[in-house]
């Protein structure tokens, strides 16, 4: 069962080849065997999972099932789920049980999906390797000595190791697409505002966006159908008519213009990555796509702009964790100021503290105009560059990451090098555009390589079809890491 895609599992449930309870227990057994090796999950609640599966079986028996009914889904531990531990990978929230469901959780529950567990992540989604979690690092199923990417690394590794057929993630600067690439799965960041942020613990509110992670573009479309929708509780949630993101799957690619920015193919990207991406582009050309050269001149400023804006928003969002209302509280303190400082010093890890300090600095008097305001202006230039490029093309393609998965600990002492791993993913967040990563090859060590596809606003169905058509012609998305077969 763990070898099947979401669509295949749904067909099996409909045909009564197995029940949702059997499916849930199968994946729980795999998690019990493999989770210590990879560190994908922070918390499980088998009783709650089986209860959801039993309810799903009743819906299936009553003829009230949808495409996700009875399907086990891993939830990134940034989404509040009523009664579940919701830690955000931090000591600050290590004992926090959410009193309500995030909108994404509500939507998936309404579809009859089954919460299989909460996945590990970089603390407060701040990281590119899943090494900053209070609960320990996540390991890449393709090589347990390497990172799975971050911050949604637990979700990516869980799908790659076949511990869940699909998972939720969040993407602030590439945190769905980058781990999808390094872990050999598919991941989609929708247009900003398509998926509600209600109940999704905030990092950088103008950049954060929830999205699906799975083994195929088709499965991403099914998951996005369940996750997307307007939510009045989120002021940035877009009030739009419901879409069927599977509607274009199967549409021929003839005449589709794929833009190739020269900035995505510059020096600094591993030759093996470039060769795999070029081979994928050649395959898409064979399927009827037309290559178009475009340029994104402001892209070189995207990383520094992001690391002004995101920490600035983080410093504001994380001010609520003060040791008073909820979260970690220091055991000993003399006065209120000491309660704040000790609780925050103990509750936050090094990377979170670094970003809070940077954010507070760029928002401070005398530096706001020089840093924060300038960064906002450049953000508009990034969006303008994309708008001009989309006048000439229908989708923009390139590598998702400049390298394949790096070794655990390799970049933890050099934050700037770590930050540069998101150089190709950050621009889409700054502009609010949808972006997807799909597997397109492997390097000489057998480590996965990701192809990034960026679409214009609300073009999710188009880029999902591009990925689907590519996957009908290739088998990179079907390959699995060695050593994950247990039963």
- Catalytic residues, by residue number, are 76, 151, 175
* Strands laid side by side in the 448-455 sheet: 41-43, 114-119, 72-76, 166-170, 210-214, 186-189, 435-442, 448-455, 395-399, 257-261, 290-294
What is the rounded CA–CA span in Å between residue 195 and residue 161? 26
With contact defined as beta carbons under 8 Å apart, do 251 and 465 qualify? yes
> Does residue 460 sit in helix, strand or coil?
helix
DSSP E strands, 283-402 = 290-294, 395-399
- Phi then psi for residue 379, to 5 deg, are -55, -40
Q: What are phi and psi of 319, to 5 degrees?
A: -65, -20
Other beta carbons within 10 Å of 378 = 17
159 burial class (0-12, 13-18, 19+ CB within 10 angstroms)? buried
Residues linked to residue 439 through DSSP beta bridges, in sequence order: 450
Tell me the three-class secondary structure of 60-95, residue by residue: HHCCCCCCCCCCEEEEECCECCCCCECCCCCHHHCC
């Amino acid at each position: 069962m763990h070898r099947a895609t979401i669509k295949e599992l749904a067909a099996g449930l409909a045909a009564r080849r197995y029940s949702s309870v059997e499916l849930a227990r199968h994946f729980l057994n795999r998690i019990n065997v493999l989770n210590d090796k990879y560190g994908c999950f922070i918390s499980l609640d088998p009783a709650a999972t089986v209860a959801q599966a039993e309810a799903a079986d009743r819906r299936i028996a009553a003829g009230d099932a949808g495409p996700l009914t009875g399907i086990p889904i891993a939830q990134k531990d940034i989404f509040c789920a009523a009664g579940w531990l919701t830690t955000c990978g931090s000591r600050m929230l290590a004992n926090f049980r959410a009193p309500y469901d995030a909108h994404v959780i509500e939507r998936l529950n309404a579809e009859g999906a089954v919460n299989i567990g909460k996945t590990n992540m970089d603390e407060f989604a701040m990281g590119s390797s899943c090494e900053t979690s209070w609960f320990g690092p996540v390991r890449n199923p393709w090589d347990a000595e390497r990172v799975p990417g971050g911050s949604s690394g637990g979700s990516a590794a869980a799908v790659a190791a076949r511990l869940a057929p699909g998972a939720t993630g969040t993407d602030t600067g590439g945190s769905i697409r980058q781990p999808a690439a390094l872990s050999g799965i598919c991941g989609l960041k929708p247009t900003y505002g398509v998926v509600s942020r209600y109940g999704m613990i905030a990092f950088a509110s103008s950049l954060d966006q929830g999205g699906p992670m799975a083994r195929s573009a088709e499965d991403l479309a099914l998951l996005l159908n369940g996750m997307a929708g307007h939510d009045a509780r989120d002021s940035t949630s877009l009030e739009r008519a419901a879409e069927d993101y599977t509607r274009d799957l199967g549409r021929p690619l003839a005449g589709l213009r794929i833009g190739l920015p020269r900035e995505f193919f510059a020096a600094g990207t591993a030759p093996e990555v470039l060769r795999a991406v070029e081979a994928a582009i050649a395959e898409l050309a064979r399927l009827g796509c037309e290559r178009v050269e475009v340029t994104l001149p402001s892209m070189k400023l995207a990383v520094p702009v992001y690391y002004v804006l995101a920490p600035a928003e983080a410093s504001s969002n994380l001010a609520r964790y003060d040791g008073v209302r909820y979260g970690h509280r220091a055991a000993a303190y003399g006065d209120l100021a000491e309660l704040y400082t000790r609780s925050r010093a103990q509750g936050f890890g090094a990377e979170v503290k670094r970003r809070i300090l940077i954010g507070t600095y760029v928002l401070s008097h005398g530096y706001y105009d020089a840093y924060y305001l300038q960064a906002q202006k450049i953000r508009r230039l990034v969006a303008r560059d994309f708008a001009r490029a989309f006048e000439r093309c229908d989708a923009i393609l390139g590598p998702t990451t400049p390298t394949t998965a790096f070794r655990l600990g390799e970049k933890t002492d050099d934050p700037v090098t770590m930050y540069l791993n998101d150089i190709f993913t950050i621009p889409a967040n700054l502009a609010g555009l949808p972006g997807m990563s799909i597997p397109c090859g492997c390097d000489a060590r057998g480590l996965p390589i990701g192809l990034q596809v960026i679409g214009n606003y609300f073009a999710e169905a188009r880029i999902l079809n591009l990925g689907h058509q590519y996957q009908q012609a290739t088998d990179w998305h079907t390959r699995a890491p060695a050593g994950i077969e247990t039963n």
